Amino acid sequence: MTDQIREQLSALLDGELPRDEMGLLMRRLDKDPELRRTFGNYALIGETLRAPGGRIAAPSLAARVSAAIGEAPAIVGKTSTAGPAATVELPQHVALWKRPIVRTALAASAAVTAVLLIRPDVTQVAQLEVTPASSFAMSASPTPAQSQRLAGYLVAHSQFSTPMVRRNLLSSLLAADPGITRVSYEMGQAP
């Protein structure tokens, strides 16, 4: 069932595919360029949602990389059949609360749309009115990111946070964190 295979692809992209299913899927991917394209499209969808607009890679890039690598020698150096075991210590996630509050919010039928539609507070009637969800208004063309402006905004914003939150925000600014996976913003990060 190709649907089943594509669902595995989707799970693989999210890092949610059990390891024992990866082997078969990888072999299929090696043989089927259509499947590889699908994987690439799924990745593109995510990128577009997080950072709509801007450049995307030309469809030929992956093939060009593959061709260029074909001329390169196979990987030498540190390889181990056991995998990168000892030094990789990824934290396990632990829920702090047993009963998630968010369940009540999402249980209400209207709230399922709440992910994309935030209901206005009725006590702020003077300022707000209910409007239907609108799609993105502006078309965009790519220009360079104004990353240090965002830092300025963050600092300006932090002045109005509570003292603890301000400290958290400024600490985040101090932390060098280039590996933000879902973000298209690269401010002040040194290689």
Partner 1 sequence: MKSREPGDEDAGLPAGTEQSDLELVRRAQQNERGAFDLLVLKYQHKVIKLVARLLRDPTEAEDVAQEAFVKAYRALGSFRGDSAFYTWLYRIAVNTARNSIASRQRRPLDYEVELSESEQNNVAARLKHDDTPEATVLSEEIRQTVNEAIELLPEDLRTAIVLREIEGLSYEEIATAMDCPVGTVRSRIFRAREAIDRALKPLLD
Partner 2 sequence: MSRAAVCVAACLLAFSARAEDDARAWIERMSESLATRNYDGLFTHSTGRQAETMRIVHRVDNGKSFERLVSLDGSGREIVRTREEVHAYLPDRRVVIVEPRGDDGSLLKSLPTPGPALDRNYQLAVGPKGGRLLGREVRVIDVRPKDIYRYGYRLWLDEDTAMPLQSIVTNGIGNPIEVIRFTQLQMKDRIPAHDIEPTVDATGFQWIRTGRKLAAMPQLPSNGGWRPLRLPPGFRLVASRLQPIPGSPMPAQHLIFSDGIAAISIFIEPGAQTGPRPPETSSMGSANAYSTSVHGHVVTAIGEVPAATVREIANSVVPVEGFEVPADSPASSAR
**Which residues 46-85 are close enough to bind partner 2 by CB under 8 A?**
50-54
**Residue from the set 60, 87, 109, 171 that interacts with partner 2 by CB under 8 A:** 171
**Residue from the set 1, 20, 72, 129 that interacts with partner 1 by CB under 8 A:** 72
- Say whether residue 137 binds partner 1 (CB under 8 A): no
Give me the 16-45 binding string for partner 1, x by CB under 8 A, dash otherwise. xx-x--x---xx-xx-----x-xxxxxxxx
Q: Which does 108 bind (CB under 5 to 8 A by kind): partner 2, partner 1, none?
A: none
- Say whether residue 107 binds partner 2 (CB under 8 A): no
- Say whether residue 106 binds partner 1 (CB under 8 A): yes
Q: How far is the CB of 4 from partner 2 (least distance, A)?
A: 29
- Say whether residue 153 binds partner 2 (CB under 8 A): yes
SS (H, E, C) the chain: CHHHHHHHHHHHHCCCCCHHHHHHHHHHHHHCHHHHHHHHHHHHHHHHHHCCCCCCCCCCHHHHHHHHHHCCCCCCCCCCCCCCCCCCCCCCCCCCCCCCCHHHHHHCHHHHHHHCCCCCCHHHCCCCCCCCCCCCCCCCCCCCCCHHHHHHHHHHHHCCCCHHHHHHHHHHHHCCCCCCCCCCCCCCCCC
